[in-house]
Structure 1
Amino acid sequence: MARARSVLIVGGGSAGNTLAILLANSGVSVDLVESRPDWGVLGSGILLHGNALRVLRDAGVWPQVRDAGFAFDSIGILAPDGTVVAEQPDLHSGGSDLPSTLGILRPALQQILIDAVRASGTRVRLGCTVEKLDDQGEGAEAVFSDGTASSYDLVVGCDGIYSTTRESIGVTDRPEPTGMGVWRTLVPRPAELVRTDLAYGGPCHIAGYSPMSDDLAYALLVVDWHERDEADPADYAERMCAESATYGGLWPTIRAHITDPAAVHYTAFHRLLVEGPWHRGRIALAGDAVHVCPPTLAQGVAMSLEDAAVVAELLSSRDVWDDALLTEYRDRRMPRVQTVVDGSMQLAQWLREGNRQAAPALIARILTALIERP
C-alpha cells in the first residue's frame, strides 16, 4: 500500500482548520500546529456570505454553523437617524440552497471547526511553533519549538496577517494600514433585528448592527484611525458610546448595553496582497498570510476558506505535488482574490471621500462574480 501523503498546516484559524478537515477527509495525513495553547480566537462576530458557507458545507460543518448562527437574505440601508432608506436583497453567492448571509460569533465558528478537526484524525499540537523550515525539493522539514523535527510532503502556512511562515520563506510583502478602523462589540439582540442594517454617513463612515445568534447581535462603527490605537482600553466602552451618540434606529437600545470596556474591540484595517508566488518549493501560503483587506465586502474569511478549498481539491486530485501544482493554485486564486481586495479598498476610499452612490453597484457586481465556484 502506498504511503499516505503528509501535510503540515501552520496555524489553527479558519483557513488552517478548514484545510485540515478537507485534507484529512480525503485521506491525507495531516499535522496542525497552533501557537495558542487554548486554540481560541478573539473578536466579536463575523458575517459569512454564501460562498463562505459553501466551503463550510463541503467541509461537513454546515449544519452546526447553521444552528449556531443567524441567517438572513437582505440588508437594510439606513439614514443616520435610523430611517430605512432601502431594503436590498442579498445575492446568494453560494447558490440558492444556502442563505445569502449568516452572522455567527467568531468563537462559535472556531469551536465548530476545532471539533471537526479533532474528528478528522488530524494530529494537533497546541502551544507549539515552527522554529525552522527547510525545503528539501521533494518535501520540507519542520523544526518545532519543543526541539522535535518532522518531514512532510508539503507545508502550508495559514498563520495569519503577521505570518512567520511567509517571512521564513523570503516573501517580503507586509500588511499596510489603510487609515481606517472599526469599533466592535456584542450586545443582546433586539427582537426586531433580523438582518444587517447599515447607516452610511454621520460622524462615522458606517454605523451598523447584525444578528449573530438568537440571543446576540454585533454592533460596529467604521471610523478614521487617527491616533485611536493609543487610546486607553479602559475607555473603549465610553468611546464607542460617544462615537455612536447621534445615531438612531436601534442604537439607543444598543448603547445601553455598551458598558464593559473589555467587551469592546478596536482594530485597524489593513491591506495585503502577495502578487508574486505564494510558495517556495514545498512550502506554500494561504489565507491572511497572502491576502487581507478591509471588511467592507465582508469577504475576508470567505477568501481564506476558498483558498483552503482550492488547495485541498488540487492536492487530493493530483498524483504529483510539484511546483506546477502550487503555481496553479496561486494563478487560480489570484484574479478572484484581487477583485475582492481591490473592491474592498475602493469601497473604503469612497467611504472616506463621502461618495456612497456607486457602492451598491460595485458590491452587487463582485458578489455576482463569486457565485461561480473558485
Structure 2
Amino acid sequence: MTKIKKVLIVGGGFSGMSAAIELRKHGVQVDLVELDPDWRSYGAGISLGGATLRAFDRLGILQEFLRHGNAADGVELYLPDGQRLGELPTPRIAGPDVPGGGAIMRPVLARILAQATRDAGTQVRLGCTFSSITQDAEGVEVAFTDGQRGRYDLVIGADGLYSKVRAAIFPDAPVPAYSGQAVWRAVLPRPAEVKTAMMWVGGRCKPGVNPVSATEMYLFVTENRPLNERVDPQEFLPQLSGLLAEFSAPMLRRIRDSLDADSIVFRPLEHLLVPRPWHTGRVVLIGDAVHATTPHMASGACIGIEDAIVLAEELMRAPSPDAALQTFQARRWERCRMVVENSIRLGEIEMAAGDKAEHSRIMGETLMALASPI
C-alpha cells in the first residue's frame, strides 16, 4: 500500500467528486477545490450506459440515481417518418435487477455526487483553484488563489476539457479538437409512450429522446456543422425547429411544436486524447482532462468515473505512488482510447453518410468492451 495520506483534487466535476468518494473510503484526507463558487453543472440531460450504472453502484449512488433519474432497457430505432426499425439491446451490466441504461438531468446527478462527496468527509473549497504547483520527490506544494497553501502526497487534476492542471504540467499536450458536429438539447415533459431511449435515423441530423425522470425527458439532436461558429441564443429556437422540420414522425412533430427557447442548450462537440503518460511525479490527470469524448457512445462520464475508481484501487494496493500511477495508466489507456477514437469514427461515418454496417459493428464492439470489468 502506498503512503498516500493527503490528496488534493482540482475540479469538482463528475470525475473529481468520484475520486474524492473512493479515496475517502480508505481514510485518505481529501481536499477538493472547485473554481465555480456555486458548484454548478451546466447542460440538460445525460444518457448513461450499463457500465456507468455499474460505476454508480461502486460509488454508492446507484439507488439515488434510480430514485431521481430513469433507467430502462434498450434503444428504440425509427425512420424519419416514425416507422419502427427495431431496438438496440443494452446489456444489464450493473446486475440482473438494474436496467441496461438510463438518463438523468446533469444538475441532478451533480447534486447527488456533491452530497456523497461531502458526506464522505471531503474538505470542499468553492470559488478557489490552484495558483502554482511545485513538487519534489516526497510530495507537492500547492498555492491557492485564496491565499492559502498546502502540501499533499498527490494532486489529481480533474478540471475538465480545458484543464489548467494539464496546461501547467504538460504545456505541450494537445488541445481539444472540434469534431465537425454539434448537439442540441432541450428538456421536455415526458409522454406516457416514452419508456426508454428513442432515436430517429436516416435524416440529415440525428434526433433522439431519453427519459430523465418520471415526468421529464430530454431531446438531443446531433447536427453536422462544418464550422465551429458561435450561435446567437436568439437563434436557438428557430435553428433547432428547422432541423426537426424534415421529420414527419408524429412524436417529433409534437416535440417541435412544444419547444421552449429557455430550455435549449447548444454545444459544439470537441474531443481530446492526451498521449501517455498522464502523470508526472505526483501529479496525475483523470477524466476529460486527458480523454474527452463525443457523446456517440454515451460513455464520457463513465470512463472518467472509472478513472477515479481505478486510481483509488491502485493507490491503496501498489507499493509506491509511482507504481500506482503506472498501473493506473496501464489499466485505463486502452479502454479510454477505444471510447474516444471509436466515438470520433462514429461521427465521421455519420457526417459522410458512410457505411452503416461499420457504424453498427463499432457500436456493438464498444458496448461489449465496456461490459468487461474495469
- Please state which band the TM-score falls in when normalised by the shorter chain: over 0.9
Coordinate RMSD, CA, aligned: 1.6
Q: Given the alignment of the two structures, is residue 186 of structure 1 paired with residue 187 of structure 2, yes or no?
A: yes
The TM-score with structure 2 as length reference comes to 0.95
- Comparing 246-255 with 151-160, which one deviates more in the overlay? 246-255
- 1:308-342: per-residue Cα shift (whole Å, max 9, x none)? 11011111223522x22212111110011111111
How far apart are the structure 1 equivalents of 2:149 and 2:8? Answer: 12
TM-aligned CA deviation for residue 126 of structure 1: 0.2
How far apart are the structure 2 equivalents of 1:325 and 1:227? Answer: 42
Q: For residue 28 of structure 1, what is the aligned residue in structure 2?
A: 28
Q: For residue 253 of structure 2, what is the aligned residue in structure 1?
A: 252
Q: Which amino acid aligns with 2:219?
A: A
Contact 1:4–1:27 (Cα < 8 Å) also in 2: no
- Comparing 58-67 with 350-359, which one deviates more in the overlay? 350-359
TM-aligned CA deviation for residue 18 of structure 1: 0.8
Contact 2:186–2:265 (Cα < 8 Å) also in 1: yes
TM-aligned CA deviation for residue 230 of structure 1: 2.5
Contact 2:8–2:31 (Cα < 8 Å) also in 1: yes
Q: Which amino acid aligns with 1:267?
A: R
Indicate how the Cα distance of structure 1 residues 176 and 92 shifts in structure 2: closer, same or farther if over 3 A, else same.
same
Query: SS where residue 238 of structure 1 aligns?
Result: helix
Query: SS where residue 371 of structure 2 aligns?
Result: coil
Q: Given the alignment of the two structures, is residue 63 of structure 1 paired with residue 63 of structure 2, yes or no?
A: yes
Q: For residue 220 of structure 1, what is the aligned residue in structure 2?
A: 220
Q: For residue 334 of structure 2, what is the aligned residue in structure 1?
A: 335
Q: For residue 197 of structure 1, what is the aligned residue in structure 2?
A: 198
Q: For residue 174 of structure 1, what is the aligned residue in structure 2?
A: 175
Contact 2:4–2:154 (Cα < 8 Å) also in 1: no
Q: For residue 92 of structure 2, what is the aligned residue in structure 1?
A: 92
Q: For residue 350 of structure 2, what is the aligned residue in structure 1?
A: 351
Q: For residue 113 of structure 2, what is the aligned residue in structure 1?
A: 113
**Identical positions, percent:** 36
Indicate how the Cα distance of structure 1 residues 249 and 315 shifts in structure 2: closer, same or farther if over 3 A, else same.
farther
TM-aligned CA deviation for residue 23 of structure 1: 0.6
Q: Which amino acid aligns with 1:225?
A: R
TM-aligned CA deviation for residue 91 of structure 1: 2.1
Q: For residue 296 of structure 2, what is the aligned residue in structure 1?
A: 296
Q: Which amino acid aligns with 2:14?
A: S
Contact 1:93–1:367 (Cα < 8 Å) also in 2: no
TM-aligned CA deviation for residue 94 of structure 1: 3.4
Q: For residue 156 of structure 2, what is the aligned residue in structure 1?
A: 156
Q: Which amino acid aligns with 2:117?
A: V
Q: Which amino acid aligns with 1:348?
A: G
How far apart are the structure 2 equivalents of 1:139 and 1:60? Answer: 30
How far apart are the structure 2 equivalents of 1:304 and 1:36? Answer: 20
How far apart are the structure 2 equivalents of 1:15 and 1:57? Answer: 15
Contact 1:91–1:364 (Cα < 8 Å) also in 2: no
TM-aligned CA deviation for residue 349 of structure 1: 1.0
Aligned residues: 370
- Comparing 46-55 with 117-126, which one deviates more in the overlay? 46-55
TM-aligned CA deviation for residue 179 of structure 1: 0.9
How far apart are the structure 1 equivalents of 2:94 and 2:369? Answer: 11
How far apart are the structure 2 equivalents of 1:233 and 1:193? Answer: 28
TM-aligned CA deviation for residue 92 of structure 1: 2.6
- Comparing 298-307 with 230-239, which one deviates more in the overlay? 230-239
Q: For residue 46 of structure 1, what is the aligned residue in structure 2?
A: 46
Runs of 4+ in 1 over 4 A off after TM superposition: none
Query: SS where residue 357 of structure 1 aligns?
Result: helix
Unmatched runs of 5 consecutive residues or more in structure 1: none
- Comparing 345-354 with 3-12, which one deviates more in the overlay? 3-12
TM-aligned CA deviation for residue 249 of structure 1: 3.8
- 1:28-62: per-residue Cα shift (whole Å, max 9, x none)? 10000000011010000011111111111111111
Q: For residue 133 of structure 1, what is the aligned residue in structure 2?
A: 133
Q: Given the alignment of the two structures, is residue 124 of structure 1 paired with residue 93 of structure 2, yes or no?
A: no
The 5-angstrom pairing of residues 267-306 of structure 1 reads 267-306=267-306
How far apart are the structure 2 equivalents of 1:4 and 1:131? Answer: 23
TM-aligned CA deviation for residue 95 of structure 1: 4.1
How far apart are the structure 2 equivalents of 1:131 and 1:319? Answer: 31
TM-aligned CA deviation for residue 254 of structure 1: 1.4
Query: SS where residue 256 of structure 1 aligns?
Result: helix
How far apart are the structure 2 equivalents of 1:228 and 1:183? Answer: 14
TM-aligned CA deviation for residue 96 of structure 1: 3.2
How far apart are the structure 2 equivalents of 1:72 and 1:360? Answer: 21
